């Protein structure tokens, strides 16, 4: 059996969009010392692909991190397959809040050095000495205390569309950047309650252990992240302290947690929180775009990209290596700041 996909991505996307099969989007992670990540990768690909699992999974010597979708009729069989792997038995599956089943269109499993790129030397501290896990109710109670600081451990383009009330939001593009910056931002607050949160909890597992190692006294992490918080808030009728949308790393780009829209279109400034990748594949920059600008620029980040995307494919292939687009010049979600500085010509 093939242990990777060979079908054209565009064809797979078309099949998914036309399919009426009900699918459930979920995420999971587990830190565990894997002696042979490559063998484990092939094992789960073989078994999970037969169940129609799609998604993106990273495997490393330190464990596994996955965001996937599973056919609804196969969810019980999938849970049984997970239970066949001892360290995954009983693992929590974070179920998506808003889900149309169109989150992933193929299964991709990669072996990496780490399941989340953090730039840390794990041998320099005890990665198992993590912060105290707290649920949604405990989060709400603790966050109301004067001696508590809430820290968003996600990237700026995630927090731009949604975050907790009064959270400290580092202006970073990667988790690797966030770790030293947050440490510096909180260097005078080592005796305060520090609550960290991220999408599903995996980044805080490592970050909380790192900050305890760095001398922070009272480190807490939101168990299950924003996804589990939203589920508990709804199930228990709790006050929702999350404002806006939760950014997710699949084709949905986000799921609504709070009713507020707290961000703006990066092109015209109107209230909007819809992320999109520029339709010009030679650019592909991630940015926020409203419906009016999507029509005006043909789902592109600029008039330049819009015009380029209309060229014949052969011509685009010849020109794209010699043309600098927003996506080849700037990082994810930097469009808004650059536009304010008038460094980008979108007309």
Nearest to 164 by CA among 199, 211, 208: 199
d(CA 243, CA 255): 12
d(CA 142, CA 338): 37
d(CA 187, CA 110): 36
Q: CB 214: neighbour CB atoms within 10 A?
A: 15
Nearest to 151 by CA among 138, 163, 135: 163
Q: How is 86-103 classified by DSSP, letter by letter?
A: GGGTT---EE-SS--S-S
The answer to whether residues 305 and 325 touch, using CB atoms and an 8 Å cutoff, is yes
Please indicate whether residue 298 or residue 252 has the higher confidence score (pLDDT): 298
Q: What is the pLDDT of residue 251?
A: 85
pLDDT in tens, 68-91: 999 999 999 999 999 999 999 999
pLDDT in tens, 228-284: 999 999 999 999 999 999 999 888 889 999 999 999 999 999 999 999 999 999 999
Asked if the model's pLDDT at residue 128 lies above 90, the reply is: no
Which tokens is 144 given? Answer: 């109301």
Asked if the model's pLDDT at residue 290 lies above 70, the reply is: yes
Asked if the model's pLDDT at residue 336 lies above 70, the reply is: no
Write phi, then psi, for 211 (nearest 5 degrees): -70, -30
User: CA dist 247 to 146, 158, 159, Å?
Assistant: 28, 5, 8
CATH of domain 9-111: 3.30.70.100
Mean pLDDT along residues 91-120: 90
Cα dihedral value 2, 12, 99, 74, nearest 10: -40
Q: What is the pLDDT of residue 48?
A: 96
Mean pLDDT rounded to a whole number for the chain: 91
pLDDT in tens, 188-197: 999 999 999 9
So where are the chain's domains? 9-111, 123-236, 275-340
The answer to whether residues 26 and 93 touch, using CB atoms and an 8 Å cutoff, is yes
Q: Which residues are catalytic?
A: 198
Mean pLDDT along residues 140-147: 96
User: CA dist 4 to 7, 18, 51, 54, Å?
Assistant: 10, 23, 14, 12
Half-sphere exposure for 21 (CA within 13 Å, toward CB): 22
d(CA 228, CA 231): 5
Kindly indicate the confidence band of residue 1, based on its pLDDT and cuts at 50, 70 and 90. Answer: low
- 9-111 and 123-236: identical CATH topology: no
Architecture of domain 123-236: 3-Layer(aba) Sandwich (3.40)
Place of tokens 């169109």: 102
Cα dihedral value 186, 190, 191, 192, nearest 10: 30
pTM across the whole model: 0.86
Q: What is the pLDDT of residue 237?
A: 97
Mean pLDDT along residues 304-326: 91
């Amino acid at each position: 059996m093939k242990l990777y996909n060979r079908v054209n991505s565009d064809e797979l996307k078309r099949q998914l969009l036309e399919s009426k099969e009900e699918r459930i989007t979920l995420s999971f992670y587990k830190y565990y010392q894997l002696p042979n990540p490559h063998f484990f990768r092939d094992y789960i690909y073989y078994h999970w692909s037969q169940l129609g699992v799609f998604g993106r999974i990273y495997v490393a010597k330190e464990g596994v991190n996955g965001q996937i979708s599973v056919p609804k009729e196969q969810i019980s069989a999938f849970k049984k397959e997970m239970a066949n792997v001892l360290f995954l038995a009983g693992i929590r599956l974070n179920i998506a809040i808003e889900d149309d089943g169109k989150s992933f269109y193929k299964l991709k499993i990669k072996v990496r050095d780490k399941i989340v790129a953090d730039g840390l030397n794990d041998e320099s501290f005890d990665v198992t000495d993590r912060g105290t896990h707290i649920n949604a109710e405990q989060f709400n109670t603790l966050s109301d205390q004067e001696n508590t600081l809430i820290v968003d451990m996600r990237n700026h383009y995630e927090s731009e569309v949604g975050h907790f009330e009064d959270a400290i939001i580092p202006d970073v593009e990667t988790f690797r950047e966030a770790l030293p910056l947050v440490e510096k931002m909180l260097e005078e607050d080592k005796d305060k309650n520090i609550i960290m949160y991220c999408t599903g909890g995996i980044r805080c597992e490592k970050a909380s252990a790192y900050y305890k190692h760095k001398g922070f006294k009272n480190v807490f992490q939101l168990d299950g992240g924003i996804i589990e918080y939203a589920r508990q808030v709804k199930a228990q009728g709790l006050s929702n302290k999350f404002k806006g949308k939760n950014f997710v790393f699949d084709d949905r780009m986000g799921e609504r947690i709070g009713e507020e829209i707290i961000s703006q279109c990066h092109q015209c400034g109107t209230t909007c929180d819809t992320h999109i990748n520029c339709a010009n594949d030679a650019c592909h920059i991630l940015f926020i775009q409203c419906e009016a600008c999507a029509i005006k620029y043909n789902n592109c980040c600029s008039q330049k990209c819009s015009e380029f995307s209309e060229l014949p494919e052969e011509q685009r292939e010849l020109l794209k290596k010699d043309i600098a687009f927003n996506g080849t010049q700037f990082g994810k979600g930097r469009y808004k700041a650059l536009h304010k500085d008038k460094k980008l010509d979108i007309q």
